[in-house]
Amino acid sequence: MSPSTHPATSAHDPLGPRLKRWRTARGWNQQDLADRAGVARSTLSKIENGLLSPTFEILVKIAQGFGTDLAELLRDPAPSLPGRMEVDRWAEVTPLPDANTRLHPLGAALRGRRFQTMVVEFTTTDLTAFGPWNSHATQDMLFVLSGRLVLHTEGYAPRTLGPGESVHFDGAMPHACLAEPPGPCRCLYVFAPA
């Protein structure tokens, strides 16, 4: 989606109203977007009305439904030049809360990238409290910045990584990223659609 195909919004607009504006700008009803994204219409309704905070997996599906990247969906600044550089300041990046993480999108104004970047803070330290494991159609890389990451994946023994260590994996493989107690763990997250 190019800046000209949806209304301009600010970086601090709530996600629900932004999704509704993007959807209506395309002439879609909730079912149209639900079908394109592969999520339930009731889920979209709850997100648009501020009754549900979507998981990372749902956000990825919605972005794909719009034919855009996740960073553009999460942070839609005023239209900018189509340049190839953006500077982000940590204090100005509004985090997106998730049940187990805080997501800080980076480089959202750069359009057409083959990869996405975020700083992710993993806050959950107990696997039994994590909930359903993640699985999304991406290729993922996590580089530990601070704290310790405990990565649980289907088919592999859990791995613990410290600052300066990284892991590359198929995001479609069920996985759970935890902070080693006392937590949290902050990582640079780079991912690309699979």
Share of the chain above pLDDT 90, in %: 43
Q: Which residue has the higher pLDDT, 183 or 188?
A: 188
- Rounded Cα distance between 59 and 70, Å, is 7
Q: What is the pLDDT of residue 111?
A: 67
Q: What is the pLDDT of residue 18?
A: 84
Q: Which of 13-17, 59-63, 184-188 has the lowest mean pLDDT?
A: 13-17
Q: In which residue ranges of the chain is CATH 2.60.120.10 found?
A: 114-193
Q: What is the pLDDT of residue 82?
A: 54
Q: In which residue ranges of the chain is CATH 1.10.260.40 found?
A: 3-74
Q: Which of 21-25, 107-111, 129-133, 149-153 has the lowest mean pLDDT?
A: 107-111
Q: Report strand pairing: 156-161 vs 185-193.
A: unpaired
Can you name the CATH fold of 3-74? 434 Repressor (Amino-terminal Domain) (1.10.260)
Q: What is the pLDDT of residue 83?
A: 54
Highest-pLDDT range among 42-51, 66-75, 95-104, 159-168: 159-168
- Rounded Cα distance between 57 and 137, Å, is 9
The CATH class for the domain spanning 114-193 reads: mainly beta
pTM for this entry: 0.66
Could you report the per-residue pLDDT of 82-135, keeping only the tens digit for each? 556 667 776 677 777 678 888 888 877 676 778 888 899 999 999 999 999 999
Q: Is 14 exposed, middle or buried (0-12, 13-18, 19+ CB in 10 A)?
A: exposed
Q: Is the peptide bond before 182 cis (omega within 30 degrees of 0)?
A: yes
Is the pLDDT reported for residue 3 higher than 50? Answer: no
Is the pLDDT reported for residue 1 higher than 50? Answer: no
**DSSP collapsed to 3 states, 93-132:** CCCEECCCEEEEEECCCCCCCCCEEEEEEECCCCHHHHCC
